[in-house]
Amino acid sequence: MLSLSVASPSTAIISSSKPISANPKSSFHGIRIQHVCPIRMLSSLSLRNPSSSVVMMAKREEELKEIRTKPTEELNEEIMDLKGELLMLRLQKSARNEFKSSEFRRMRKRIARMLTVRREREIEEGINKRLSRKLDRQWKKSIVVRPPPSLKKLQEEEAAAEAEKST
């Protein structure tokens, strides 16, 4: 039979009902674990600020309302732009340039929300899953490769800098 007793705020002891003997021939009958989980960690887990999650939920709902107001064509354009931005972030990461790692998650989540809204619209139109996949493949094949907005902006800034140097 195992029992758990807390000796101090930073020490927890687990022991068995059998006594631990000093006899080297006997088998192991107990265990003692120290610093398993300090009380400070337990109290911080239970006292999280619930208002921060409420604010995040409100922002998410606001973003979903904004996405739902857009027409499907505009939604497809923005999905392509965000996927391009995600590619640019990956390139920055591989080149070991400075970037915000939180942008990966933010962009992936935004793309997923847009794809979800697009699928909801397909379901309302009565398009089944198989046809949806087929249409999605056709849409992906029809995409004309173009630079993402951040790369366009960077190219414009470089062109402006070159124009200033030449004049």
Q: Which residue has the higher pLDDT, 29 or 121?
A: 121
Q: Work out the end-to-end distance of the chain between its first and last CA atoms, rounded to an integer number of angstroms.
A: 87
Convert the pLDDT of each residue in 33-78 to its tens digit.
Answer: 555 455 554 444 445 565 666 777 777 888 888 999 999 899 988 9
The pLDDT of residue 94: 87
The pLDDT of residue 115: 92
Alpha carbon of 133 to those of 76, 79, 140, 153, 165: distances in Å? 15, 16, 10, 33, 50
| CATH class entry, domain 52-148 | mainly alpha
114 CB-contact burial (10 Å; exposed 0-12 / middle 13-18 / buried 19+): buried
For 12, the enclosing helix (H) or strand (E) is: strand 11-16
Place of tokens 């088998």: 27
- Domain positions in the chain are 2-40, 52-148
Percentage, residues of the chain above pLDDT 90? 15
The pLDDT of residue 141: 83
Q: Which of 3-12, 46-55, 114-123 has the highest mean pLDDT?
A: 114-123
Instruction: Output the pTM of the full model.
Output: 0.57
Question: Of 35-44, 47-56, 109-118, 157-166, where does mean pLDDT reach its minimum?
Answer: 35-44
Q: Above 80 in pLDDT, residue 128?
A: yes
Q: Above 50 in pLDDT, residue 12?
A: no
**Angle (deg, nearest 10), helices 102-125 and 50-69:** 50
Q: Which residue has the higher pLDDT, 147 or 51?
A: 147
For 11, the enclosing helix (H) or strand (E) is: strand 11-16
